[in-house]
A and B are shown apart, each in its own frame.
Chain A
Amino acid sequence: MTTALFSVAGAVAVVAAVVVVVSRRIVHAALWLVLALGAVAGCFGALHAEFVALVQILVYVGAIVVLVLFALMLTKAPTNPLPEITSGRAPFAAAVAAVLALILGAGVVLAFGNEKIKPVTDGSATAVGTQVFKNWVLPFEVLSVLLLAALIGAIALSQRTESAQRKKED
């Protein structure tokens, strides 16, 4: 049951991801990204990591993609297809990605080919919360510094410089 669910979600994720990176319309790509991320969240659910799946939907779909769309808007990204979304590098990039996939895939299959995941349901928020506050206090705190720094940094960068402001006023 979970396997089937996982397979479906996974297939959707892969298809959506491929569209994200090949779509000629950037806004479409962003929307397909929503689908891909949602599908991954589905996969999490199938693996009984419901809390992670929830956070994934909340943070990614709810926040990150919205941010991206805003950015697209602000950078006046054209909604119509672009003539040149990829450069001549694309085939080469594809080859590199394929080789990497082959190496990694082979390694993974060789290493974990016989392992099975037993369906256990401990993906509760309680377990994760316990972990965070019992064993992972330090990274959690550091993460808060990171968020703050990133926030302030983003704000600082988004402010107009005084000279630019003056130029605008002129």
Chain B
Amino acid sequence: MTLTLTWTDWQAIAVPLVLAIGAVAVLLVDSFWKSASAELRHTVVTLLTSVVILFGLVFVWAHRDDFKPAFCRPAVEGPAQCSLVFEPLTAGLWAVLLIGGLGVVGLSAYRLLAADVPIGEYHFLLLSALTGATVLAGARDLATLVIALEVVSLPSFAMVALRRDRRGSEGAMKAFLVSVLSTAVMLFGVSYLYGVTGSLYLSTIANRLTGLDPDLARVAFAAGLFVIVGFAFKIAAVPFHAWLPDTYVGAPIEVTTFLAVVSKSAGVAGLLVLVTSGIAPTGSQLRTAVAILAAVTMTVGNLAALRQVEAVRLLAWSSIGQVGFLLAPLAAGDAQAVVGYLAAYVVVTLGAFGAVAVVQRHRPGGLLTDYRGMVRSEPGLAAALIFFLVVLAGLPPGLAGLFTKFAAFQAVIDAHLGWLAIVMAVNVMIGLAVYLRWVAELFRLPADDPFSVDIETPAVTMISLCTAVAAVLSVLPSIMFALAT
């Protein structure tokens, strides 16, 4: 009974570890430095958080080609069983997650974050969730996977209610209840998987799942389904999605951004790991189940978004639609397409929520009609927002979105899921209709009182950065697809 951590282990968990330590540090700085002005404190906290995340990014960049299995033990049969693996796929997912986190931090800068949110706790929870997210993306055993998922979820819900008002608590309650149910369902599935295969390591499970007798295979299928459903709750795949619009609307917009960007990406990352390297090998019925989820999710998400009149709610539903598109290549087991899609999604969602946050701060109604005439009154912001929406729709000039959708189509076609491809084609159309409604509002002239304000510098910086990154990804889409290889 000796605890031995090798150098590889330390390297592999360096990023989550630093994030966790950073979280505590941020909390301590905030708690014990009450004397400083709010602005200074906020800035220091923001900088500290950013530095921590940036460290993670630098680390990922430096080790992008490495393969580091950690917390391993030799297996009875097959390859070594590891709890965490740092490999190019992990690096890609971490990069996406960390960029998302960094973006949220940027969008939560001083004067952007709602005043009644305690900043120390906010950043602590954010970094904690990020810790969980990174572990999740690298996890290779079910215990780590489940716990890491909880580490992502619980702080997120706390953040939703962090304003401690009526709306926030209601949103948090809904998200929390759904999440707890999903955790229970998932754990139930995990317990059966353990029962059937006798292991919690994904690689071992994958090995043992082949050649089960039919009765056990049926249980394994149900168990796998339960586990997938657990993730489906987190990423709000239909029919496990209903909490999402309410929670998005109830939370402070920065937290909504966090949910849409980091939380969702983490869920997708976990599911990707689970499906590709664990419970659903190629040809498994579980992949069919994921494909069905994808089809239903994108259709329902896009259709429901079709008539929304509030910006955040529209983004909420459209993010459900986007998850459907993410699930499609996932069902095909194409990690490259998933990570590429995720990257583009994260960047433009950050930007879109950033733009919405700017408008919402001055026009709390949050209706689409508030955006009327913005091309004239706020051309820069409008152009950025249009670009983000077009990327989400997947049309030029948003080539980043177009190519990620293309990759998704390619994955699906290569996996012989013709029906899913047709559903996706229909959804490209519906999705376009959704985003065009908004774009049309932006262009509509003249409005009686077009939106025009001095936009806060950090917001300008963040939105410009997102635009720039999305533009670069549009011109050189190979960057996105190189993330996972």
Contact = CB atoms under 8 A, between A and B. Distances in A.
Interface of A: 103-104, 107-108, 110-112, 126, 129-130, 133-139, 141-143, 145-146, 148-150, 152-157, 159-164
Interface string B116-156: 10100100110011011001000101011001101100110
A145 B125 CA distance: 10
Nearest to B148: A142
The 10 closest A-B pairs by CB, nearest first: A153-B158, A156-B121, A149-B128, A139-B143, A138-B83, A111-B215, A111-B219, A139-B144, A110-B215, A149-B155
Nearest to B220: A111
B132 A142 contact: yes
Given A107-B222, A138-B13, A142-B151, A159 B118 contact: yes
Given A134-B2, A159-B164, 18 more contacts: A103-B222, A104-B222, A107-B219, A135-B71, A135-B83, A136-B83, A137-B71, A139-B147, A142-B151, A146-B132, A146-B151, A146-B154, A156-B118, A157-B161, A159-B118, A161-B164, A162-B116, A164-B164
Given A136-B83, A137-B3, A162-B116, A107 B218 contact: yes
A153 B154 contact: yes
B158 A143 contact: no
Interface of B is mostly: helix
B76 interface: no
Contacts of B131: 142, 145
Given A146-B132, A146-B151, A157 B158 contact: yes
A5 B122 CA distance: 49
A26 to B, nearest CB: 17
A150 B147 CA distance: 12
Given A129-B1, A139-B143, A153-B155, A161 B116 contact: yes
B274 to A, nearest CB: 15
A160 to B, nearest CB: 8
Given A145-B131, A153-B158, A156-B118, A134 B73 contact: yes
Nearest to B143: A139
B154 A142 contact: no
B219 A137 contact: no
Contacts of B70: 138
Nearest to A144: B20
A52 to B, nearest CB: 13
9 contacts: A110-B218, A135-B71, A139-B83, A139-B144, A143-B147, A145-B131, A150-B158, A152-B125, A153-B158
B162 interface: yes
Contacts of A152: 27, 121, 124-125, 128, 158
B164 A145 contact: no
A145 B83 contact: no
Contacts of B154: 146, 149-150, 153
A162 B71 CA distance: 45
Contacts of B36: none
B228 interface: no
B106 to A, nearest CB: 22
Contacts of A157: 158, 161-162, 164
B84 interface: yes
